[in-house]
């Protein structure tokens, strides 16, 4: 298979009380799969700023003190190749809202081992095959 890319994606690991925030994708590759908030790194953009921007755009939540925690190499069956950078940080107040309903069916909190399937490839790789993960 010939892959396009690689492109850079940013996934935001949002945790609260031992649970992680995931949403069910709509309207693009991976439709129906559960995924972290996130998106594409724009040209010239810092990955940490990208994580803050994507989280605010998708959920209305604010991420403070962002930091890189993991990386995955994602080869999608559609021929897409992404390097995904996972960022976490301190979460501000409030509950997530579904601000892009054309892209996400809604946000839900799950314990890490209870995240439903099917999972978006980058999330599955984070769970089982990360290139870099926290010590």
CA 45 – CA 50 distance, rounded (Å): 7
How does pLDDT run across 107-116, given as a tens digit for each residue? 999 999 999 9
Nearest of 103, 49, 99 to residue 12 by alpha carbon: 49
2 within some domain: no
Structural domain contains residue 107: yes
The answer to whether 130 and 68 have CB atoms below 8 angstroms apart is: no
Confidence of residue 126 (pLDDT cuts 50, 70, 90): very high
Q: Token digits for 39?
A: 């998106």
pTM of the model as a whole: 0.93
CB atoms closer than 10 angstroms to residue 134: 11
- End-to-end alpha-carbon separation of the chain, Å? 34
Please give the radius of gyration of the chain, using alpha carbons only, rounded to the nearest integer: 14
Helices (H), the chain: 47-59, 121-128
Question: What confidence score (pLDDT) does residue 65 get?
Answer: 98
Question: Is residue 134 a part of any domain in this protein?
Answer: no
Specify the number of domains making up the chain.
1
Examine the pLDDT at 1 and tell me if it is beyond 80: no
**How far is residue 122's CA from residue 135's CA, in Å, rounded to a whole number?**
19
State what percent of residues in the chain have pLDDT above 90.
84
Task: Please provide the average confidence, as pLDDT, over all residues in the chain.
Answer: 94
Whether 133 is in a domain gets the answer no
Which tokens sit at 9?
């994606």
CATH number at residue 37: 3.90.79.10
Q: Is residue 128 classed as helix, strand or coil in its secondary structure? A: helix
Query: Which domain, by its residues, includes 115?
Result: 7-128
């Amino acid at each position: 298979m010939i892959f396009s890319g690689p492109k850079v994606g940013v996934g935001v690991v949002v945790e609260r009380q031992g649970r992680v925030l995931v949403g069910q994708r709509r309207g693009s590759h991976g439709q129906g799969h559960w995924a972290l908030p996130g998106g594409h790194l724009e040209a010239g953009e810092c990955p940490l700023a990208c994580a803050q921007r994507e989280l605010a755009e998708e959920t209305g939540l604010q991420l403070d003190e962002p930091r890189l925690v993991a990386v995955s190499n994602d080869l999608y069956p559609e021929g897409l190749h992404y390097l995904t950078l996972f960022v976490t940080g301190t979460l501000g107040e409030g509950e997530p809202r579904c601000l892009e309903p054309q892209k996400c069916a809604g946000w839900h909190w799950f314990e890490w081992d209870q995240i439903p399937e099917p999972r978006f490839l980058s999330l599955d790789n984070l769970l089982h095959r990360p290139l870099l993960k926290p010590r």
